[in-house]
Structure 1
């Protein structure tokens, strides 16, 4: 027979697991934002170490097309 402590630990673990699975992530496909406002957002390394200088933003360019023979 299970002891009260084991039941409590299992119930808490199940509850935490269910909450983590229910609240994880964004719905829908993942994508990299390409709008101009996204260029001004901080990247992960900039967020972790704000003292590092930020490189200049690259100009937006159209997708490269394959050369025609």
Structure 2
């Protein structure tokens, strides 16, 4: 079964991550089959100053 890597801007609560983990796990089992125990999800919190889209740092957007 899969290992999912989820990269998010920092600031999500543990409850939000737990809810997302539950939903992603259910989707994997529904689509791929197998057991929920075989789905691993890794969360990585990224600061906006460490993420760029289109050459613009997210920490600079809206300035």
Q: TM-score, normalised by structure 2?
A: 0.35
Higher relative contact order (CA 8 A, sep 6+): 2
Q: TM-score, normalised by structure 1?
A: 0.32
Structure number with greater Rg is 1
